[in-house]
Each structure stands twice: as C-alpha cells, then as structure tokens.
C-alpha cells in the first residue's frame, strides 16, 4: 500500500512553533524509518535527503552501532558539510568512531571527572541563588525573561568556572555559542557570513572558527604557565597537539554551554505549564533527581543527531544504502509509547526513565553529570525562593532542527515562594 510522503520533521521553522510530537507519533506508528527531503530553507542549500529514525529502540540501535552507523563518514549534523571542511570537522571526537574516538574521549574524561564536577556544587548553588534573587529583585511588573536574566548566565558562568576561563573573557564564549548553535534562526544568530559565491558559510567551518581556536591556544599557554584546578589546565598539560586542543575547546564550549542553556528554560517552561507536577516537586513528593530526568525527557536539549551508513543495511524493515544519512530524533524516542507509559504526561517521579536526551552508545554526553548537577540545583533553588512558575508572556523557541532552544521565557518571579 502506498503510504504517500512522510510528514516533514526536517524544516527548522517547524520547531519554532513547538516540537512536532504529532508528526513524530505518525512516523513511529507507520514509518519508523522514513525518508525526508532536504529543500533549501532560510538561504541554506538543498541536500540529498536522509532517513528519519523515530522509535526509541531504533534510535538506541543506531547510536550504539558505530560500525554500521558512522559519525566519521559525514559528521553529525543533518546538513552535509563542505567536503573541504570534512577533514577539519573529523578532528573533534564528536565526528569520530571508535577506536580513535575512545582515545580522545579518555583524554578529556580525565579532566571531566565526577569528583572535579562535584567540587563545583557549592559554587553552582550560590550562582543559582544570586541569579534568581537578581531576577526577582529587578523584575518589572513582577515578571522577567528568565533566559536572559538567569539561565543563559547560569550555564555560561558554570561552564567557564569548570574550564578555567577568566571572567573578562566569558562573553566571547556566549558569542561563539550563539553563532554556532543559532545559525538557522534569523533572529537569534548574527547575519551569516558568506563566501565568494554569496552563499552562507557553515558556522562550523575553519574559516569562521579561527578566533575561537586562537583563544584556545592562548588560554592553554596561560594554563601551562600558571596551572589551576580546571579542565583547561588538564588538557593543556595532556600533551595534545594544537589541533586536538582547539577542537576539545570548541566542543566543550559549544556543547557544554548549550546543553544546560537549552535544558534549563525548557524544564522551567514544562513546570510552568503543569502546576500540579510543580507542586509535587515543591512538596517533596517528586525527588529532585527523578524530576531532572523527566524534565530532560520532555525537553531534550538536542533534537537530532546524524550518522552515515557505512554499509548497506536494514533498520525496522527499511533498506538503507551505504552512504545514506541516518538521523535519530531524540525527542521522538523520548515520547515512544512502546517504552514510556503515557509519554505526554509530565511525571516527575517517573522510574525507570530510559530517555536518550544525552544520547547513547560511545558518544553518550561526557558532560551529563555536570549538566544534571546544574539542573537539579537550579530547580531546587527555584522551589526554595521563587513563586510557582507561571507564564507572563509567550515563550520564543529557537528556529532549529538540532537544538531544542528557548530564546525567551517570561515568567512571574515576584511573590512568595511556592
């Protein structure tokens, strides 16, 4: 039976209106591995198309099977990079396969130990209290955009503390993150720089990352001269080549910042939309660690990741050819009724909760422990000091099929703690 074209889940403009959960459901039920076209959108050129993978079991299979579904062959973004940029992109462990990926991952894992992360807990809590108090005290008409007043700063400053970036340089990291992550959004990102042919340059191309890389080399030199107890000191003393150090800094700056920068307002929005669930968090019926997992399930910071088929294969009955792009959709997997009972319900006590918001397999998020710590502390401090979260205006979502971003979130911040 001809099922006709599959629902579109590629167009980044869809996500500005909300994650297309109904389209995901249709794909899971009828086309779990569905062909998607890649038309020209927002000035970015058309691509050859890809397979959208939407069921939880299939997403996990793709993420775990690096031999069949490669991160190295075509990198990990839906859009094809310029072939000239591909060798450069393959320097980062995000775009590598085992065993080389594992060698690099072990290097950065030594810098990102749970003990080092946990040592920042008191500083993270103090920062949450300070930012929430400032948002509350400075609110006009009792409301504030918590993205601009709380969560952007919270994510950025926590990360720069862990990395060991001096306070005077922290704005640079936010500027780079906005350009690289928000490039699909004409409002959130600066106008794209263009090449000689007038086409926009990929913000991850070497031509646009020179400033960040130069800064990484300079910071590493400072850390070698004056070591500290931070991630960049560990990396600077690890004997890495400049290219490896630069790509680690790129990955930690962008991924490390934007994971919490996206998840924190998404979690607060989910709580604002479900006062009963928030009440369970506030009165202790929902443990904060479980609440963090459920809020990550309903608002994963990353919407999709790409792999490339290394050989002809089959997934959920669909033949896939070597070289085809295969894109997993985390937000769809997190709402798969085959795994999660009543997935549309916010259940802050949900257990077990095998969401894939931090990925799975060899590329599972290295900074997940730090992200969980920051999110748990932020929600605990909100409960302790802030009123019941309530929308004070419409939120604005990022135009992106990659990052599940909230760029504005007006919430009521004045009133007794609830």
pLDDT of 216 > 50? The answer is yes
pLDDT in tens, 311-322: 999 999 999 999
Quick one: pLDDT at residue 306? 97
Looking at per-residue pLDDT, the higher value among 189 and 155 belongs to 155
Using alpha carbons, list the distances in angstroms from residue 273 to 98, 112, 220, 278, 388: 42, 34, 44, 9, 11
* Run of H or E including 173: helix 170-181
Could you give phi then psi for residue 234, rounded to 5 degrees? -60, -45
pLDDT at residue 175 tops 70: yes
In sequence order, the 6+-apart residues with CB closer than 8 A to the CB of 13 are 41, 42, 399
Using CA atoms, how far apart are residues 58 and 64, in angstroms rounded to an integer?
10
Residue 230, pLDDT above cutoff 80: yes
Give the per-residue pLDDT at 198. 61
Residue-level pLDDT at 1: 35
For the beta carbon of residue 163, count every other beta carbon within 10 angstroms. 22
Least confident of 9-23, 80-94, 311-325, 397-411: 80-94
pTM: 0.91
Confidence of residue 389 (pLDDT cuts 50, 70, 90): very high
Residue 193 pLDDT? 55
Q: What φ, ψ does residue 254 adopt, rounded to 5°?
A: -80, -55
pLDDT at position 223, please?
A: 95
With a pLDDT cut of 70, the percent of the chain lying above it is: 92
Structure confidence at residue 227 (pLDDT): 94
What average pLDDT is seen over the chain? Answer: 90
Our measurement of the distance from residue 108's CA atom to the centroid of its chain's CA atoms, rounded to an integer in Å, reads 19
The confidence band for 25, taking pLDDT boundaries of 50, 70 and 90, is very high
Is residue 192 scored above 90 in pLDDT? no
Nearest to 335 by CA among 15, 52, 24, 8: 24
Q: Are 223 and 248 in contact (CB under 8 A)?
A: no
Does pLDDT of 104 surpass 70?
yes
Q: What is the pLDDT of residue 117?
A: 87
The pLDDT, as a whole number, for residue 172 is 83
Domains of the chain: 12-412 (1.10.630.10)
Rounded Cα–Cα distance for residues 320 and 72 (Å): 18
Q: What is the pLDDT confidence band of residue 2, given thresholds at 50, 70 and 90?
A: very low
The residue with greater pLDDT, 184 or 170, is 170
Kindly report, residue by residue over 246-285, the tens digit of the pLDDT: 888 888 887 788 899 999 999 999 999 999 999 999 999 9
């Amino acid at each position: 039976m001809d099922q006709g074209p599959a629902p579109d889940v590629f167009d980044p403009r869809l996500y500005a209106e909300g994650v297309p959960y109904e389209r995901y459901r249709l794909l899971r039920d009828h086309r779990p591995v569905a062909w998607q076209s890649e038309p020209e959108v927002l000035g970015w050129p058309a691509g050859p198309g890809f397979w959208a993978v939407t069921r939880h079991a299939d997403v996990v299979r793709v993420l775990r099977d690096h031999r069949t579904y490669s991160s190295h062959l075509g990198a990990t973004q839906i859009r094809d990079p310029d072939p000239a940029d591909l060798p450069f992109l393959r320097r980062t462990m995000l775009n590598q396969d085992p065993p080389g990926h594992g060698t690099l991952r072990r290097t950065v894992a030594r810098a990102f130990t749970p003990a080092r992360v946990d040592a920042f807990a008191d500083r993270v809590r103090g920062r949450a209290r300070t930012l929430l108090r400032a948002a509350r005290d400075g609110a006009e008409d009792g409301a504030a955009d918590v993205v601009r007043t709380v969560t952007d700063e919270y994510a950025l400053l926590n990360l720069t503390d862990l990395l060991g970036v001096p306070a005077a340089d922290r704005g640079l990291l936010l500027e780079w993150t906005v350009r690289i992550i928000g490039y699909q959004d004409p409002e959130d990102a600066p106008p794209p720089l263009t090449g000689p042919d007038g086409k926009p340059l990929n913000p991850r191309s070497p031509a646009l990352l020179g400033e960040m890389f130069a800064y990484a080399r300079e910071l590493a030199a400072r850390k070698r001269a004056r070591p500290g107890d931070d991630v960049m000191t560990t990396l600077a003393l690890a004997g890495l080549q400049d290219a490896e150090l630069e790509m680690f800094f790129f990955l930690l700056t962008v991924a490390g910042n934007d994971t919490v920068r996206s998840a924190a307002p998404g979690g607060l929005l989910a709580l604002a939309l479900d006062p009963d669930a928030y009440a369970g968090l506030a009165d202790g019926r929902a443990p904060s660690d479980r609440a963090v997992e459920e809020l990550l399930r309903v608002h994963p910071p990353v919407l999709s990741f790409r792999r490339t088929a290394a050989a002809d294969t089959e997934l959920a009955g669909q033949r896939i050819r070597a070289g085809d792009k295969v894109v997993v959709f985390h937000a769809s997997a997190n709402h798969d009724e085959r795994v999660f009972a009543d997935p549309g319900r916010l259940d802050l006590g949900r257990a077990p909760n095998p969401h894939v918001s931090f990925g799975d397999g060899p590329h599972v998020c290295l900074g997940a422990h730090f992200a969980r710590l920051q999110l748990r502390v932020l929600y605990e401090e909100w409960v302790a000091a802030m009123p019941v979260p309530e929308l004070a205006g419409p939120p604005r979502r990022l135009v992106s099929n990659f990052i599940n971003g909230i760029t504005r979130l007006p919430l009521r911040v004045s009133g007794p703690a609830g």
